[in-house]
Structure 1
Amino acid sequence: MSGQTAVVIGGGIAGLATAALLAREGYGVTLLEQNAAVGGRAGSWEHDGFRFDTGPSWYLMPEVFDHFFRLMGTSTAEQLDLVTLDPGYRVFSEDGRPPLDILADGAANRAVFEREERGAGAALDRYLAGAAETYRLAVDRFLYSTFADLRPLLAGDLVRRLPRLARLLLEPLDRYAAGFVRDVRLRQVLGYPAVFLGTSPDRAPSMYHLMSHLDLDDGVRYPLGGFAALIDRIAALAADAGARLQTGARVVAIRTTDSSPRPRASGVDYRDASGALHSIDADVVVSGADLHHTETVLLPEALRTHPEKTWERRDPGPGVVLAMLGVRGRLPQLTHHNLFFTTDWKANFETIYGPDPGIPDPASLYVCMPSETDPDVAPEGHENLFVLIPVPADVSLGAGGMNGAGDRAIERAADAAIAQISAWAGIPDLADRIVVRRTVGPEDFATEFNAWSGGALGPAHTLRQSAFFRPGNASKKVDGLLYAGCSTIPGIGLPMCLISAELVLKRLRGDGGAGPLPEPLPAPQAERVP
């Protein structure tokens, strides 16, 4: 057992999982979260009988969750009530074609593709075979690696795949997908995972076609109670393992002591909800906060591994406008997950990422209606809609508000999205049936989560910001300072954040292996049976 102490900054899923794993390892852990509740971007908001997940809403890579829970001596089945969604999601097109349902069964999805384009079923079979192989390679060789030791990357099976890997890294996802199907909508189904990775299909390496294995073959799940239930369970596991979780505690500085050859993290200073200043000593400091904020605000300039000038060359990914809508009456036109695709994707993404960024109109939207699956998220006879509009990561776009009181650009984007959903899905009275409305903009992400540039997801998964090119999880200037979360390896998304927590423990153990840790972690000494 460790017997050492650790402070974890930030109570998002990465911080909570890190606190849980370190407490299980025997560290005395204190987690400090600046907001009134844990969860970070994976938060929850309730109003007038509606409950909204305010962030992630897709449950993919179930084996990552399974592994984390087994590390903690439990199981997904014990912690969550998962439902498989069928259809997994519905696709609406600007050209007015009938909606396309992507189903829970891989064979059925091959038939769906074949109905849309002759020969596309067999093409999808080939595409998904490569996606499954790449996914397995990523899990076995990359996702669970700290890259502190690069020797596992020289393994024979990986070296033999280098020509294919080189192609997948250098060819963009949209071009790769176009080599399999011609139909625009089918190509969009294969390319949209790039948006979940904080980029666009023409900027994401085609290595990320592995994501299609998850939704088209493996299926999409949903935890009853929403993603707030997932956060609650991880927080409970951390507390049960002995971690102290403190909210309303805003860290203002990481403290260090002089040592050789580098300074060493010795704790943090934080302000409580009343503004009073406190200090906590620790042997290890782990920041699950935004890496830009950690490096440029919490550390003095001389101790920054990633000073401000390095961020000028990085891509923050997209911002978003969120609209949380409570709607009177049922909406059978929609399912749990809905994607609204514009025909000219290139123009859509150029508006977001190009040299003169702005808010697309029309935009490619994501609409989640969890009330299709979970009756507890909306009053009887009502629906719960979570609308996500990708926009530039630009705090000057402003903040959201209640009932249209947000900044002008944010409310106009929400109005346009509501009108678009109404027209494309055939719900002419949608705007009139909205009884609850709250919007969120990039400025809110910067204020509530210290998000760099107001970005919603984390630094984009472009080639220069993927795998070992992504910022590592340990400071190069301060010993005992580590990082977790979407800003560091392995990247964006709830599964990646869970893995990032495990990488902190691997780094502290000096474990340079490429694979996940053995299950379960030994129980804390007090829990062991003599």
Structure 2
Amino acid sequence: MSFDTIIVGGGIAGLLTGAILAKNGQKILLLEKSSMLGGRSNSIEYKKGYIVDFGIHLIRYSTKSSIYKIFKKQLGEKLDIINCGDIKLFQDGAFHDFPLSMRGLASTDIFNDEEKKAFGPILVDILKLKVNDYLDVSVPDYIKELEDKHGKLSQPIKDFLVVVANLMCVSTKTEMLSSGEFVDGIKTGSKAPSGTSYPRGGWKAIIERLIEIIKENGEIRTKSKVDSVKIENNEIRGVNVGSEFIEANTVILAIPSKSIFDLIPESNFSPEFVKMTENIIPTVGVFMDFGLKEKISDHDGTILTRKPFTMSVFASNLDEKIVPEGEQIYTIFQPTELDVISDKEKIKQVKDNLMNILNEMYPDFSNKIIWHRTSAGIVDGAVPFITQHRNLRPKVKSEIEGLYFAGDSYGVPGTGGEIAHTSALFCAKAIFEDRTKLELLT
């Protein structure tokens, strides 16, 4: 059997790209080395009746998100999502409305009346900002620029801007975060009916549908590790899987950029590409999932803390079918540095601290736990630092003819998981454009 395109990697980026191409008539072969598809975006039945995601996987920007647009425009389907409620900030022993809109600004109590009046013009400036002009500008430098224009900002306003940057970029290394990337998130979110949404039935439902679409016009093989990609005269020829050679003139590597050279020698790429690819720092952190024996909160939006920065959600308040009746799932996540996730003692320190926060937010929390699990690892492929923003990461189209990339470490707009979704769209469009050019030439 011959294929138009081979996709290496069955994570969310590979599945989305494969579904777009398959829906547009391409014969697809998707190869995944593990037994499970969906990668970090998948959800599992961790305990009987509990459908658990890998960390917090909300859909940013609701109907304005890349994944919603892909389903609607490229796949011709409506993605079934549940809009989340407002964001809350827990500080000083209480929950506060977290203002990401003019409406939220009016209702919040984290600012006094004078600060609310001062913040209005700042929010207007943020929404008018030209993103590309500020990709190389760090968040602290942008805050200084705002102070030069609007006068000295109060500590609550500066703290708020930092937390928004941490939230949008999923990182607490504020001094390195790109203000252009975080402002782009605010601008996109301001146009959405909800800041975040959750797929009905969990991410498992999305992944299962993408698999069905690909199989309608192609094939998926799990436990199929690609050993190498064959290239002749700077053109793709196919892939080697064990003793089998599979021919195709288009290959998509839907894998982390640092893994490219496991399949293709560095000598096939420019020194600039190699340097750009090897230096990407991923988003990492520690998250804890809890199965609770009774409902302890009705809140259906994200919950934040500032010191330390954490984000958390009761996913079962959005879709009660993912838990046994009367029970609840709660997930909390704290971004960390790379050295933390490889050190058991440091992970334990984070875990103990998170438990202290939870018992402060919800007294007697520990006594409501049926089960819990703690995990530490990579959450997203690239933190949007000023040193690795969208213009400083590898593009989805390679310098090798017929080779493309998709995933959350490539150079497309977005932050967090949105990068992977957007990369699928950019990758598919690049392939369509190149195919059209080729047809015109022949």
Counterpart code for 1:71 = K
Between the aligned partners of 1:380 and 1:266, the Cα distance in structure 2 is 53
SS of corresponding position for 1:250:
coil
2:113 matches 1:118: yes
SS of corresponding position for 1:83:
strand
Equivalent positions of 1:264-413 (< 5 A) are 264-270=235-241, 277-295=243-261, 297-305=262-270, 310=275, 314-332=279-297, 335-342=300-307, 363-394=308-339, 397=342, 407-413=344-350
Aligned CA distance change for structure 1 residues 294 and 126 (closer, same or farther; 3 Å): same
Aligned to 1:347: none
Counterpart code for 1:68 = I
Aligned CA distance change for structure 1 residues 113 and 206 (closer, same or farther; 3 Å): farther
More displaced 10-residue stretch of structure 1: 108-117 or 432-441: 108-117
Per-residue deviation, 1:289: 0.7
Between the aligned partners of 2:83 and 2:124, the Cα distance in structure 1 is 22
Q: Contact 2:254–2:405 (CA<8 Å) still a contact in 1?
A: yes
Aligned CA distance change for structure 1 residues 209 and 177 (closer, same or farther; 3 Å): farther
Aligned CA distance change for structure 1 residues 119 and 314 (closer, same or farther; 3 Å): farther
Equivalent positions of 1:162-311 (< 5 A) are 166=133, 168-177=134-143, 179=146, 181-182=153-154, 183=156, 185-196=159-170, 198=171, 200-207=173-180, 208-215=182-189, 218=192, 219-220=194-195, 221-240=197-216, 242-256=217-231, 258-259=232-233, 262=234, 264-270=235-241, 277-295=243-261, 297-305=262-270, 310=275
Aligned CA distance change for structure 1 residues 73 and 21 (closer, same or farther; 3 Å): closer
SS of corresponding position for 2:379:
coil
Aligned to 1:58: 58
Per-residue displacement from partner, 1:189-248 (whole Å, max 9, x unpaired)?
A: 43333433x5633222221223223456632222221233233333333333x1322222
More displaced 10-residue stretch of structure 1: 331-340 or 176-185: 176-185
Between the aligned partners of 1:269 and 1:307, the Cα distance in structure 2 is 27
Structure 2, unpaired ranges of 5+: 436-442
Q: Contact 1:327–1:384 (CA<8 Å) still a contact in 2?
A: yes
SS of corresponding position for 1:302:
helix
Aligned CA distance change for structure 1 residues 309 and 44 (closer, same or farther; 3 Å): same
Aligned to 1:84: 83
Per-residue displacement from partner, 1:436-477 (whole Å, max 9, x unpaired)?
A: 2222223xxxxxxxxxxxx3211221223223322112333x
Aligned to 1:108: 103
Per-residue deviation, 1:489: 1.8
Per-residue deviation, 1:23: 1.8
Per-residue deviation, 1:412: 4.0
Per-residue deviation, 1:15: 0.5
Between the aligned partners of 1:85 and 1:396, the Cα distance in structure 2 is 29
Q: Contact 1:371–1:384 (CA<8 Å) still a contact in 2?
A: yes
2:44 matches 1:48: no
SS of corresponding position for 2:29:
strand
Aligned CA distance change for structure 1 residues 293 and 395 (closer, same or farther; 3 Å): farther
More displaced 10-residue stretch of structure 1: 66-75 or 46-55: 66-75
Between the aligned partners of 1:244 and 1:123, the Cα distance in structure 2 is 57
SS of corresponding position for 2:135:
helix
Aligned CA distance change for structure 1 residues 239 and 214 (closer, same or farther; 3 Å): same
Match for 1:484 among 391, 396, 406?
A: 406
Per-residue displacement from partner, 1:299-335 (whole Å, max 9, x unpaired)?
A: 1242245799726972413321222221222222865
Aligned to 2:20: 21
Between the aligned partners of 1:56 and 1:111, the Cα distance in structure 2 is 28
Aligned CA distance change for structure 1 residues 492 and 40 (closer, same or farther; 3 Å): farther
Between the aligned partners of 2:172 and 2:240, the Cα distance in structure 1 is 35
Counterpart code for 1:325 = F
Q: Contact 1:340–1:364 (CA<8 Å) still a contact in 2?
A: yes
Per-residue deviation, 1:126: 3.2
Between the aligned partners of 2:143 and 2:112, the Cα distance in structure 1 is 14
Find runs of 4+ consecutive structure 1 residues off by over 6 angstroms: 306-309
Q: Contact 2:341–2:376 (CA<8 Å) still a contact in 1?
A: no
Q: Contact 2:23–2:75 (CA<8 Å) still a contact in 1?
A: no
Q: Contact 1:316–1:460 (CA<8 Å) still a contact in 2?
A: yes
Per-residue deviation, 1:7: 0.6
Aligned CA distance change for structure 1 residues 291 and 169 (closer, same or farther; 3 Å): closer
Between the aligned partners of 1:112 and 1:304, the Cα distance in structure 2 is 53
Between the aligned partners of 1:211 and 1:6, the Cα distance in structure 2 is 32
Q: Contact 1:336–1:371 (CA<8 Å) still a contact in 2?
A: no
Normalised TM-score (structure 1): 0.71
Counterpart code for 1:378 = V
Between the aligned partners of 2:222 and 2:211, the Cα distance in structure 1 is 12
Aligned CA distance change for structure 1 residues 415 and 114 (closer, same or farther; 3 Å): closer
Structure 1, unpaired ranges of 5+: 139-164, 272-276, 343-362, 399-406, 443-454, 513-530
Aligned CA distance change for structure 1 residues 216 and 199 (closer, same or farther; 3 Å): same
Per-residue deviation, 1:396: 6.7
Q: Contact 1:60–1:214 (CA<8 Å) still a contact in 2?
A: no
Q: Contact 1:320–1:391 (CA<8 Å) still a contact in 2?
A: yes
Aligned to 2:430: 507
Between the aligned partners of 1:466 and 1:66, the Cα distance in structure 2 is 23
Between the aligned partners of 2:56 and 2:338, the Cα distance in structure 1 is 18
Aligned CA distance change for structure 1 residues 474 and 173 (closer, same or farther; 3 Å): same
Normalised TM-score (structure 2): 0.84
Counterpart code for 1:486 = D
Q: Contact 2:34–2:223 (CA<8 Å) still a contact in 1?
A: yes
Per-residue displacement from partner, 1:350-373 (whole Å, max 9, x unpaired)?
A: xxxxxxxxxxxxx32221211122
Between the aligned partners of 1:479 and 1:86, the Cα distance in structure 2 is 46
Aligned CA distance change for structure 1 residues 314 and 73 (closer, same or farther; 3 Å): closer
Per-residue deviation, 1:499: 2.4
